[in-house]
Every structure is written in structure tokens, then in C-alpha cells.
Amino acid sequence: MLALAPTEELDAGPRKGGPGAERLCAVSRTVKPVDELIRFVVGPDGVVADLKRKLPGRGLWITGDRHTLKDAVARNVFARGFKREVRVSPALIEETERLLVRAALDALAIAGKGSLVATGFAKTEAAIAGEPIVGVIHASDGSPDGINKLAGGLRRRDDPVKIPVIQAFTTAQLDLALGRSNVVHAALLAGPAIDTFLARFARLERFRAGEAAQSGHQCGPGREPN
């Protein structure tokens, strides 16, 4: 059962939202699980996204997609919610997306250090053919030929659940996260660190595409492990 959420827009300060925690979206005025929301606080330079829900001060919660955040900025929701004039950067939406991208890639880096990411075409192909993988990554600037060949291997698998395929990061981003050069393809092996990455990636996708997004080939668990 979901925990009861306060009806006030502002929370009482940073706290860890466990399973079932809910908050009020300051834009839609509906109560939602915290995993569908982003907490915002007022820092020294103005409003900033608090993805880890740990920054000091009272927080305002907004449904975690670009459209809703854009609406919040346009309607001056932050000033109303914080009950005072606050600085909202014109780049708040882009800054929030960059934080979400960084959070996902940081989780991928941890998974890579834990040997849960098989990189390179040959290793990815082998993992698809015979490993209990939970996801595949292709660089967004990768060659269609390699992607199509690996897609054939995925179609031959008999997994009860469709394996998510992620094409949201460039080769340069994957190289930096995984500490390797020219990472175009990778297979994700089961483990807690991969669960965290997939949850953060799902959050990024929700932000980019909104609640109506059909994640299909780009999905992951809905809740990030605490």
C-alpha cells in the first residue's frame, strides 16, 4: 500500500523516499509515487534538481518529464510553491536532463567496474547467444550494420520478456563511462548495479518522452534501488 502523501506542495526537508512513498506534483496537483517525480530545491544559484533527494532545504516536487517541467517554469510554479521569488535558470530543463544523463552513466560505470558489462561486438554477440543478459546497448552513432546483426541474435532468443535495447548514448559517452575506447556495443549482465542503471535510464527516458512514451525497446525497472 502506498504511503499517504502530504497535501502541501513543499516537503519538510530532504529525506529518503522508500517503497510506496508519494508526493504532490506542484503542477498537476496529483499525488504520485516519488519515483515518477523530481525534487527541486533552491540553491545558491537558484532552483536546481535534487535527483538523490538529499539536498538541504524544503523541496518542491514536479512530475519527471520535460513537458511538465516546462509548464512549471512557464506558470511560475516555483515562486508560488516556495512562496517567494526564486531564480529559475532559462536552461533548467536542459540542466536537469544533463543531471539525469550523468546519473545513468555513473551507474553504468559502476556496473562496468563490477564486470557486469560485456563490451565490443564479439563479446556482445557471444553474450546474446548464450548469456542471461538483461539489456543491450548500442552507441547512438554506431553503424547500422552491427546493430542489425546483433538484433538478429536477439530475435533468436527465447526470453519470456523482451530484452531492452538502449541507443541513447554516444560512443564518447560510453567510452568515458566504461573506461574503454570505441565502445559501440555492449551487453548487460544481471546484477544490482545493472538494476540501478536500468532504473536511472528509465527515469531519463520518462523525462525525455513523457508519461505517454512507449518505452518498448528502451526500458528498465521503474524503481531505483535505495
Is residue 219 over pLDDT 90? no
Q: What angle do CA 138, 93, 109 make, to 5 degrees?
A: 35
Residue 226 forms part of a structural domain = no
CA 156 to chain centre: 29
Give the pLDDT of residue 189. Answer: 97
- Report the pLDDT value the prediction gives residue 218, as an integer from 0 to 100: 44
Q: Is the pLDDT reported for residue 48 higher than 90?
A: yes
Are 165 and 148 part of one and the same domain?
Answer: yes
Domain count along the chain: 2
The answer to whether residue 9 is domain-embedded is no
Burial of 68 (0-12, 13-18, 19+ CB in 10 A): buried
Looking at the structure, tell me whether residues 77 and 147 fall in a common domain: no
Longest dimension (CA), the chain: 58
185-189 and 117-119 strand pairing: antiparallel
Residue 216 lies in a domain: no
DSSP 10: B
List pLDDT tens digits, range 203-216: 999 999 875 443 33
Whole domain around residue 56: which residue ranges? 22-90
* Residue 74 resides in a domain: yes
pLDDT tens digits, 77-107: 999 999 999 999 999 999 999 999 999 999 9
The structure's pTM equals 0.87
Q: Does pLDDT of 7 surpass 80?
A: no
Q: Could you tell me if 34 and 79 lie in one domain?
A: yes
**77 alpha-carbon distance from chain centroid:** 23
Residues 64, 82 within the same domain: yes
Identify the burial level of 156 via C-beta atoms within 10 angstroms of its C-beta, where 0-12 means exposed, 13-18 middle and 19 or more buried.
exposed
* Residues near 152 by beta carbon (within 8 Å), at least 6 away in sequence: none
Answer yes or no: do 104 and 189 share one domain: yes
| Judgement on whether residues 101 and 194 belong to the same structural domain of the protein | yes
Distance CA 53, CA 163 (A): 30
Q: What's the CATH code of the domain at 84?
A: 3.30.1230.10
Residue 6 included in any domain: no
189 in a domain, yes or no?
yes
Q: Which three cell numbers stand for residue 155?
A: 530475435
What CATH number did the domain enclosing 103 receive?
Answer: 3.30.1330.30
Residues above pLDDT 70, as percent of the chain: 87
